Amino acid sequence: MSDLPPGSGDLDETPAFLENGFEFVESRARRHGPVFRTRILGRDTAVIVGPDACAVWIDPSLVKREGSQPGFIFEILAGPSLPHLDGDGHRERKSLIMEGFTREALAGYLPDLVRIVESADGISRILAAALPDGTKIAPDALTRELHHIIIAGYIIFAEFAWAAQELSRRPDLRLRLEAEIREQASGGLSREALDRMPLLSRVVMEVKRLCPILPVIFGVARRTFEFKGCSVPEGWAVFWALRSTHLDRSIYSGPETFDPERFAPGRAEHMKHAHAFVPQGPGPDTGHKCPGTDYATYFMKAFIAALLRGGTTWEFTDPVASYNWRQIPPEPMSGLRARFGRSNGVTGNG
Protein backbone atom coordinates (compact mmCIF):
# COMPACT_ATOMS: atom_id res chain seq x y z
CA MET A 1 0.00 0.00 0.00
CA SER A 2 1.36 3.43 -0.95
CA ASP A 3 1.74 6.26 1.52
CA LEU A 4 -0.99 8.82 2.10
CA PRO A 5 -0.61 12.10 0.20
CA PRO A 6 1.75 14.71 1.68
CA GLY A 7 0.30 17.62 3.60
CA SER A 8 -1.51 18.32 6.83
CA GLY A 9 -3.80 15.59 8.07
CA ASP A 10 -4.08 16.58 11.73
CA LEU A 11 -4.89 20.29 11.54
CA ASP A 12 -8.32 21.31 10.23
CA GLU A 13 -7.61 23.96 7.59
CA THR A 14 -11.17 25.09 6.93
CA PRO A 15 -10.55 28.77 7.89
CA ALA A 16 -7.69 29.12 5.39
CA PHE A 17 -9.69 27.34 2.69
CA LEU A 18 -12.70 29.62 3.16
CA GLU A 19 -10.53 32.75 3.29
CA ASN A 20 -9.13 32.14 -0.20
CA GLY A 21 -9.69 28.68 -1.65
CA PHE A 22 -7.74 29.50 -4.81
CA GLU A 23 -4.55 30.49 -3.00
CA PHE A 24 -5.07 27.62 -0.54
CA VAL A 25 -4.96 25.07 -3.35
CA GLU A 26 -2.30 26.73 -5.49
CA SER A 27 0.18 27.30 -2.65
CA ARG A 28 -0.11 23.72 -1.43
CA ALA A 29 0.11 22.30 -4.93
CA ARG A 30 3.35 24.22 -5.42
CA ARG A 31 4.64 22.81 -2.13
CA HIS A 32 3.41 19.20 -2.35
CA GLY A 33 2.70 18.48 -6.01
CA PRO A 34 -0.44 17.28 -7.84
CA VAL A 35 -2.00 15.53 -4.82
CA PHE A 36 -1.98 16.65 -1.22
CA ARG A 37 -3.76 15.89 2.02
CA THR A 38 -5.73 18.32 4.15
CA ARG A 39 -8.66 18.37 6.54
CA ILE A 40 -11.73 20.44 5.64
CA LEU A 41 -14.83 20.70 7.84
CA GLY A 42 -13.47 17.88 9.98
CA ARG A 43 -13.11 15.50 7.03
CA ASP A 44 -9.94 13.89 5.63
CA THR A 45 -9.54 15.31 2.15
CA ALA A 46 -7.32 14.64 -0.86
CA VAL A 47 -6.95 17.51 -3.33
CA ILE A 48 -5.95 16.42 -6.83
CA VAL A 49 -4.57 18.88 -9.36
CA GLY A 50 -3.69 18.90 -13.04
CA PRO A 51 -4.80 17.28 -16.30
CA ASP A 52 -3.86 13.77 -15.15
CA ALA A 53 -6.19 14.20 -12.17
CA CYS A 54 -9.15 14.51 -14.53
CA ALA A 55 -8.98 10.84 -15.47
CA VAL A 56 -9.45 9.96 -11.79
CA TRP A 57 -12.13 12.58 -11.31
CA ILE A 58 -14.39 11.29 -14.10
CA ASP A 59 -13.97 7.60 -13.26
CA PRO A 60 -17.24 6.65 -11.45
CA SER A 61 -15.60 3.55 -10.00
CA LEU A 62 -13.18 5.80 -8.09
CA VAL A 63 -15.06 9.01 -7.28
CA LYS A 64 -18.73 9.57 -6.53
CA ARG A 65 -20.68 12.80 -6.05
CA GLU A 66 -23.40 11.74 -3.61
CA GLY A 67 -22.59 12.91 -0.10
CA SER A 68 -19.64 15.01 -1.29
CA GLN A 69 -20.97 18.52 -0.78
CA PRO A 70 -20.85 20.27 2.60
CA GLY A 71 -24.33 20.77 3.99
CA PHE A 72 -24.50 24.50 3.35
CA ILE A 73 -23.59 24.02 -0.34
CA PHE A 74 -26.10 21.20 -0.67
CA GLU A 75 -28.77 23.57 0.63
CA ILE A 76 -27.68 26.40 -1.70
CA LEU A 77 -28.11 24.04 -4.65
CA ALA A 78 -31.60 23.14 -3.36
CA GLY A 79 -30.82 19.49 -2.75
CA PRO A 80 -29.90 16.64 -5.10
CA SER A 81 -29.32 18.43 -8.41
CA LEU A 82 -26.92 17.21 -11.11
CA PRO A 83 -23.65 17.94 -9.22
CA HIS A 84 -24.85 15.60 -6.45
CA LEU A 85 -26.15 12.68 -8.53
CA ASP A 86 -24.48 9.49 -9.74
CA GLY A 87 -25.26 6.56 -12.03
CA ASP A 88 -28.58 6.14 -13.82
CA GLY A 89 -30.21 8.96 -11.87
CA HIS A 90 -27.59 11.38 -13.14
CA ARG A 91 -27.65 10.11 -16.72
CA GLU A 92 -31.43 10.33 -16.98
CA ARG A 93 -31.65 13.80 -15.43
CA LYS A 94 -28.76 15.04 -17.57
CA SER A 95 -30.38 13.86 -20.81
CA LEU A 96 -33.51 15.86 -19.99
CA ILE A 97 -31.64 19.00 -18.96
CA MET A 98 -29.46 18.90 -22.10
CA GLU A 99 -32.56 19.47 -24.24
CA GLY A 100 -32.41 23.07 -23.11
CA PHE A 101 -28.85 23.39 -24.44
CA THR A 102 -28.92 21.78 -27.90
CA ARG A 103 -27.40 23.64 -30.85
CA GLU A 104 -30.92 24.34 -32.10
CA ALA A 105 -31.79 25.84 -28.73
CA LEU A 106 -28.61 27.93 -28.73
CA ALA A 107 -29.44 29.31 -32.16
CA GLY A 108 -32.77 30.49 -30.80
CA TYR A 109 -31.17 32.18 -27.79
CA LEU A 110 -28.60 34.23 -29.69
CA PRO A 111 -30.45 36.93 -31.67
CA ASP A 112 -30.95 39.20 -28.69
CA LEU A 113 -29.06 39.27 -25.39
CA VAL A 114 -32.10 40.60 -23.58
CA ARG A 115 -34.19 37.72 -24.85
CA ILE A 116 -31.48 35.31 -23.72
CA VAL A 117 -31.88 36.56 -20.17
CA GLU A 118 -35.68 36.75 -20.20
CA SER A 119 -36.62 33.81 -22.43
CA ALA A 120 -38.51 30.84 -21.02
CA ASP A 121 -37.74 28.82 -24.15
CA GLY A 122 -35.10 26.74 -22.39
CA ILE A 123 -37.56 25.75 -19.70
CA SER A 124 -40.16 24.70 -22.26
CA ARG A 125 -37.59 22.51 -24.03
CA ILE A 126 -36.66 20.76 -20.78
CA LEU A 127 -40.32 20.25 -19.88
CA ALA A 128 -41.02 18.77 -23.33
CA ALA A 129 -38.05 16.39 -23.20
CA ALA A 130 -38.67 12.73 -22.37
CA LEU A 131 -36.62 9.60 -21.81
CA PRO A 132 -37.07 6.65 -24.21
CA ASP A 133 -39.70 5.19 -21.89
CA GLY A 134 -41.67 8.47 -21.92
CA THR A 135 -40.59 9.65 -18.47
CA LYS A 136 -40.42 13.44 -18.14
CA ILE A 137 -38.69 15.55 -15.55
CA ALA A 138 -40.63 15.90 -12.30
CA PRO A 139 -41.59 19.44 -11.18
CA ASP A 140 -39.50 19.26 -7.98
CA ALA A 141 -36.48 18.02 -9.94
CA LEU A 142 -36.89 20.85 -12.46
CA THR A 143 -37.05 23.35 -9.59
CA ARG A 144 -33.73 22.07 -8.22
CA GLU A 145 -32.07 22.15 -11.64
CA LEU A 146 -33.30 25.68 -12.39
CA HIS A 147 -31.88 26.75 -9.03
CA HIS A 148 -28.59 25.16 -10.06
CA ILE A 149 -28.70 26.88 -13.49
CA ILE A 150 -29.45 30.29 -11.97
CA ILE A 151 -26.43 29.96 -9.67
CA ALA A 152 -24.36 28.96 -12.71
CA GLY A 153 -25.47 32.26 -14.26
CA TYR A 154 -23.33 34.10 -11.71
CA ILE A 155 -20.34 32.34 -13.24
CA ILE A 156 -21.11 33.71 -16.69
CA PHE A 157 -21.41 37.25 -15.37
CA ALA A 158 -18.11 36.86 -13.52
CA GLU A 159 -16.56 35.87 -16.85
CA PHE A 160 -18.15 38.91 -18.52
CA ALA A 161 -16.43 41.12 -15.94
CA TRP A 162 -13.10 39.33 -16.35
CA ALA A 163 -13.27 39.71 -20.14
CA ALA A 164 -14.04 43.43 -19.84
CA GLN A 165 -11.06 43.94 -17.54
CA GLU A 166 -8.64 42.06 -19.76
CA LEU A 167 -9.79 43.89 -22.90
CA SER A 168 -9.53 47.26 -21.14
CA ARG A 169 -5.85 46.52 -20.48
CA ARG A 170 -5.17 45.48 -24.08
CA PRO A 171 -6.36 48.13 -26.57
CA ASP A 172 -4.54 46.45 -29.45
CA LEU A 173 -6.40 43.19 -28.82
CA ARG A 174 -9.66 45.09 -28.56
CA LEU A 175 -9.05 46.75 -31.94
CA ARG A 176 -8.30 43.40 -33.56
CA LEU A 177 -11.50 41.98 -32.12
CA GLU A 178 -13.52 44.96 -33.34
CA ALA A 179 -12.19 44.44 -36.86
CA GLU A 180 -13.02 40.71 -36.81
CA ILE A 181 -16.53 41.39 -35.49
CA ARG A 182 -17.23 44.08 -38.09
CA GLU A 183 -16.11 41.78 -40.87
CA GLN A 184 -17.94 38.66 -39.78
CA ALA A 185 -21.11 40.03 -38.16
CA SER A 186 -22.29 42.54 -40.73
CA GLY A 187 -25.49 40.52 -41.07
CA GLY A 188 -26.08 40.13 -37.32
CA LEU A 189 -24.86 38.05 -34.40
CA SER A 190 -25.96 34.62 -35.52
CA ARG A 191 -24.37 31.39 -34.34
CA GLU A 192 -22.79 31.01 -37.78
CA ALA A 193 -21.30 34.50 -37.61
CA LEU A 194 -19.84 33.89 -34.16
CA ASP A 195 -18.35 30.60 -35.37
CA ARG A 196 -16.41 32.55 -38.02
CA MET A 197 -14.50 34.56 -35.38
CA PRO A 198 -11.38 32.61 -34.33
CA LEU A 199 -9.86 35.48 -32.35
CA LEU A 200 -13.07 35.90 -30.37
CA SER A 201 -13.08 32.15 -29.66
CA ARG A 202 -9.51 32.32 -28.35
CA VAL A 203 -10.34 35.29 -26.11
CA VAL A 204 -13.33 33.45 -24.64
CA MET A 205 -11.20 30.34 -24.05
CA GLU A 206 -8.55 32.35 -22.24
CA VAL A 207 -11.15 34.07 -20.07
CA LYS A 208 -12.54 30.65 -19.12
CA ARG A 209 -9.05 29.33 -18.37
CA LEU A 210 -8.03 32.16 -16.04
CA CYS A 211 -11.21 33.59 -14.51
CA PRO A 212 -11.46 32.39 -10.87
CA ILE A 213 -14.84 30.70 -10.54
CA LEU A 214 -14.50 27.76 -8.16
CA PRO A 215 -11.31 26.64 -6.45
CA VAL A 216 -12.45 23.00 -6.24
CA ILE A 217 -15.29 20.64 -7.12
CA PHE A 218 -16.42 18.06 -4.56
CA GLY A 219 -16.33 14.29 -4.68
CA VAL A 220 -15.89 11.27 -2.41
CA ALA A 221 -13.55 8.29 -2.89
CA ARG A 222 -15.84 5.38 -3.74
CA ARG A 223 -12.96 3.00 -3.04
CA THR A 224 -9.28 3.31 -2.18
CA PHE A 225 -7.24 4.33 -5.23
CA GLU A 226 -3.75 5.52 -6.09
CA PHE A 227 -2.81 8.77 -7.79
CA LYS A 228 0.75 9.89 -8.47
CA GLY A 229 2.14 7.28 -6.11
CA CYS A 230 -0.14 8.19 -3.21
CA SER A 231 -3.04 6.26 -1.72
CA VAL A 232 -6.42 7.98 -1.29
CA PRO A 233 -8.55 5.91 1.14
CA GLU A 234 -12.16 4.99 0.56
CA GLY A 235 -14.55 7.53 2.08
CA TRP A 236 -12.15 10.46 1.96
CA ALA A 237 -13.38 13.68 0.41
CA VAL A 238 -11.76 14.22 -3.01
CA PHE A 239 -11.47 17.79 -4.28
CA TRP A 240 -10.56 18.33 -7.94
CA ALA A 241 -8.78 21.68 -8.31
CA LEU A 242 -10.49 23.41 -11.24
CA ARG A 243 -8.51 26.63 -11.74
CA SER A 244 -5.15 25.24 -10.58
CA THR A 245 -5.44 22.55 -13.27
CA HIS A 246 -5.35 25.35 -15.86
CA LEU A 247 -2.15 26.84 -14.41
CA ASP A 248 -0.03 23.74 -15.12
CA ARG A 249 3.36 24.94 -16.39
CA SER A 250 3.94 21.68 -18.24
CA ILE A 251 0.94 22.62 -20.42
CA TYR A 252 0.75 26.40 -20.49
CA SER A 253 3.64 28.82 -20.99
CA GLY A 254 3.40 31.74 -18.58
CA PRO A 255 0.16 30.24 -17.23
CA GLU A 256 -0.86 33.29 -15.18
CA THR A 257 -0.58 35.63 -18.18
CA PHE A 258 -3.64 36.44 -20.28
CA ASP A 259 -2.58 35.27 -23.74
CA PRO A 260 -5.33 34.16 -26.14
CA GLU A 261 -2.76 33.26 -28.79
CA ARG A 262 -1.78 30.20 -26.76
CA PHE A 263 -4.86 28.59 -28.39
CA ALA A 264 -3.86 29.57 -31.95
CA PRO A 265 -3.06 26.73 -34.39
CA GLY A 266 0.68 27.42 -34.27
CA ARG A 267 0.83 26.88 -30.49
CA ALA A 268 -2.33 25.00 -29.47
CA GLU A 269 -1.14 24.55 -25.89
CA HIS A 270 -4.56 23.18 -24.92
CA MET A 271 -3.95 20.18 -27.19
CA LYS A 272 -0.96 18.91 -25.19
CA HIS A 273 -3.22 16.77 -23.02
CA ALA A 274 -6.74 15.40 -23.40
CA HIS A 275 -7.73 17.25 -20.24
CA ALA A 276 -5.58 20.36 -20.59
CA PHE A 277 -8.58 22.66 -21.16
CA VAL A 278 -11.61 21.69 -19.08
CA PRO A 279 -12.95 24.93 -17.55
CA GLN A 280 -16.46 23.49 -17.18
CA GLY A 281 -15.40 20.02 -16.17
CA PRO A 282 -13.71 17.09 -17.92
CA GLY A 283 -15.31 14.13 -19.61
CA PRO A 284 -18.21 13.63 -22.01
CA ASP A 285 -21.40 15.68 -22.12
CA THR A 286 -23.25 12.74 -20.55
CA GLY A 287 -21.00 12.89 -17.48
CA HIS A 288 -20.55 15.65 -14.91
CA LYS A 289 -19.37 18.25 -17.39
CA CYS A 290 -21.50 21.39 -17.10
CA PRO A 291 -24.59 21.07 -19.35
CA GLY A 292 -24.36 24.78 -20.18
CA THR A 293 -20.83 24.65 -21.65
CA ASP A 294 -21.85 25.70 -25.16
CA TYR A 295 -24.50 28.08 -23.84
CA ALA A 296 -21.90 29.90 -21.74
CA THR A 297 -19.47 30.00 -24.67
CA TYR A 298 -21.98 31.56 -27.07
CA PHE A 299 -23.33 33.89 -24.39
CA MET A 300 -19.79 35.21 -23.77
CA LYS A 301 -19.12 35.54 -27.49
CA ALA A 302 -22.40 37.41 -28.01
CA PHE A 303 -21.69 39.71 -25.05
CA ILE A 304 -18.21 40.66 -26.25
CA ALA A 305 -19.32 40.99 -29.87
CA ALA A 306 -22.32 43.17 -28.99
CA LEU A 307 -20.16 45.33 -26.72
CA LEU A 308 -17.45 45.95 -29.32
CA ARG A 309 -19.73 46.01 -32.34
CA GLY A 310 -21.55 49.01 -30.87
CA GLY A 311 -18.36 51.04 -30.59
CA THR A 312 -18.40 50.98 -26.79
CA THR A 313 -15.26 52.05 -24.97
CA TRP A 314 -14.64 51.77 -21.24
CA GLU A 315 -12.05 52.55 -18.62
CA PHE A 316 -12.11 51.15 -15.09
CA THR A 317 -11.60 53.56 -12.21
CA ASP A 318 -9.67 50.81 -10.40
CA PRO A 319 -7.74 49.09 -13.22
CA VAL A 320 -5.94 46.71 -10.84
CA ALA A 321 -8.95 45.54 -8.85
CA SER A 322 -8.56 43.81 -5.49
CA TYR A 323 -10.84 40.81 -5.11
CA ASN A 324 -12.93 39.53 -2.24
CA TRP A 325 -11.77 35.91 -2.34
CA ARG A 326 -14.31 34.81 0.25
CA GLN A 327 -17.07 35.20 -2.31
CA ILE A 328 -17.80 32.58 -4.98
CA PRO A 329 -17.20 33.66 -7.66
CA PRO A 330 -14.81 36.29 -6.25
CA GLU A 331 -15.90 39.88 -6.81
CA PRO A 332 -13.83 43.09 -7.14
CA MET A 333 -13.79 44.98 -3.85
CA SER A 334 -14.38 48.27 -5.70
CA GLY A 335 -17.51 47.00 -7.43
CA LEU A 336 -15.70 47.33 -10.80
CA ARG A 337 -16.80 50.90 -11.51
CA ALA A 338 -16.07 52.08 -15.03
CA ARG A 339 -16.43 55.08 -17.30
CA PHE A 340 -18.14 54.17 -20.55
CA GLY A 341 -18.11 55.97 -23.84
CA ARG A 342 -18.36 55.55 -27.57
CA SER A 343 -16.00 56.28 -30.38
CA ASN A 344 -17.83 59.61 -30.91
CA GLY A 345 -16.56 60.80 -27.52
CA VAL A 346 -19.73 60.52 -25.42
CA THR A 347 -18.92 59.29 -21.90
CA GLY A 348 -20.72 58.34 -18.70
CA ASN A 349 -20.21 56.52 -15.43
CA GLY A 350 -21.52 53.08 -14.47
CA distance 24 to 216: 10
Instruction: Determine the pLDDT at residue 129.
Output: 61
Instruction: Determine the pLDDT at residue 225.
Output: 96
Question: At 245, which CATH number?
Answer: 1.10.630.10
- Does 139 have pLDDT greater than 70? no
Point out the least confidently predicted range of 7-16, 37-46, 186-195, 306-315: 306-315
This prediction has a pTM of 0.81
In a domain, 7, yes or no: no
- What is the overall mean pLDDT for the chain? 82
In a domain, 317, yes or no: yes
In a domain, 313, yes or no: yes
In a domain, 246, yes or no: yes
**pLDDT tens figures, 159-171:** 888 898 899 889 8
- Mean pLDDT (whole number) for 280-292: 80
In a domain, 256, yes or no: yes
In a domain, 308, yes or no: yes
Domain limits for position 252: 14-349
CA distance 222 to 208: 30
In a domain, 305, yes or no: yes
- Alpha helices per DSSP H over the chain: 14-19, 21-32, 51-57, 71-76, 87-97, 103-109, 113-118, 121-128, 139-169, 171-184, 191-195, 198-210, 242-245, 293-309
Instruction: Determine the pLDDT at residue 130.
Output: 66
CA distance 60 to 57: 8
In the chain, % helix, strand, coil (3-state, to 5) comes to 45, 15, 40
Enumerate residues 6+ apart whose C-beta is below 8 A from 156. 296, 299, 300
CA distance 147 to 132: 26
**pLDDT tens figures, 58-89:** 999 999 988 887 766 666 555 667 677 788 88
In a domain, 178, yes or no: yes
Q: How confident is the model at residue 112 (pLDDT cuts 50, 70, 90)?
A: low
**pLDDT tens figures, 243-271:** 999 999 999 999 999 999 999 999 999 99
How many separate domains does the chain show? 1
